[in-house]
Structures are given as structure tokens and as C-alpha cells.
Structure 1
Amino acid sequence: MKRIDIIYDGTLYSVSGEEYEVLKTRIAAAHDEGRATWLRVDHGEGRARSAEILIAPGIPVSLVAINTDGDADEGEDEGDPAD
């Protein structure tokens, strides 16, 4: 299972069931077009509550891809043990 953590206004939210690059592209498109859009997220530990955050130009948002399967993400450079 994959999850995307979102840091928005200093608060941690998460999204599951969506690909990182797809979400990143959606947010970038809204910014590029100068429009606001609502994003449905989960908030809280354990039993998460559904929430919506406003994504708009001038509002900083950070995305963090979380792989809950325990496998390394594709393309992640773990270094060469011979180095």
C-alpha cells in the first residue's frame, strides 16, 4: 500500500489510493493555471477523519511519498556497498 503524506499549514495530512506523480501533477496544474482546488485528505492518527484542504497559488504544500510495503521505492538510490 502506498500513501502520500501532505504537510499543509504545518499540519500533517495523508492521501491513500492515489499515485504520487498524479497528485503532484494535479497540484502543479492548479498552480500553473492560477486556480484554487480542494483536495480530500485524511487527518489524524489511528482512525483518520476525512478533511479537505484548499490548494491554491501562494499556499505552500509539501508532498512525501510513503511506501508502507517496506520495499524501496523504484529509482531510489541506496548507494553502492563497494563505495
Structure 2
Amino acid sequence: MKRINIIYGGETYSIGDRELDDVLADIASGLASTEPQWLSVNYGEGVPRKALLLLTAGVDIAVIPVPGFDEDADQVSDEPPPPRAR
């Protein structure tokens, strides 16, 4: 896995050098916990800065895996890209 993009509260963050299943398990654990739990992510382009996201019910969070160059090389889609949002 090259990286995992996280969209949290409408902002984009990323996580590198972690497996998708581990990140999903951390998120599920954080949401199930009665104590505040934080997800460590990167924020920014170029030289990313460390950021912490509070895992809590009611906050929109999306997890988007970004495969490395050779991970999905044999998979090609003929589907056109979705239209741009307005």
C-alpha cells in the first residue's frame, strides 16, 4: 500500500507505511472506546505535518487506499471517471 487517504470533516489527510486492515481496526476500536481515541495522520503537501484526529461518532470519515504503482498494474478499468463535483 502506497498510502491511505483519510477524509475527515471535509479535510484530506494521509497515512503512510501502514496496512489498510490495521488502520480500519484502529478506527473501529476508537469509535467503540468509551475513552477519547486519536488517529495519527499526516496533513499538508510537500513536507507533511503530523496531525491527530479525534475518533468520535458523528464525524464524517472516509478511508481511501491508494495502491502502489505495481500493486494493481494488471487491473485496468474501462469505466470513465465520474463527473467533477460542482
- Say whether residues 1:30 and 2:30 are aligned partners: yes
Distance 1:46 1:67 in 2: 19
Identity value in percent: 30
Provide the aligned length of Structure 1 versus Structure 2: 77
Where do 5+ consecutive residues of structure 2 fail to align? 79-86
Please show how residues 3-82 of structure 1 align to structure 2 within 5 Å.
Answer: 3-72=3-72
Q: Bigger shift: 29-38 or 60-69?
A: 29-38
31-40 or 41-50, which deviates more: 31-40
**TM-score of the aligned structures, taking structure 1 as reference length:** 0.75
Give the 4+ runs in structure 1 shifted more than 4 A: 76-79
Cα RMSD between the aligned structures? 2.4
Report the TM-score when normalising by structure 2. Answer: 0.73
Q: Equivalents in 1 of 2:76, 2:56: separation in Å?
A: 32
Residue type at the aligned position of 2:4: I
Distance (Å, rounded) in 1 between the aligned partners of 2:46 and 2:62: 22
State how far apart, in whole Å, the 2-side matches of 1:4 and 1:68 are.
Answer: 11
Conserved in 2, the CA contact under 8 Å of 1:14 and 1:43? yes
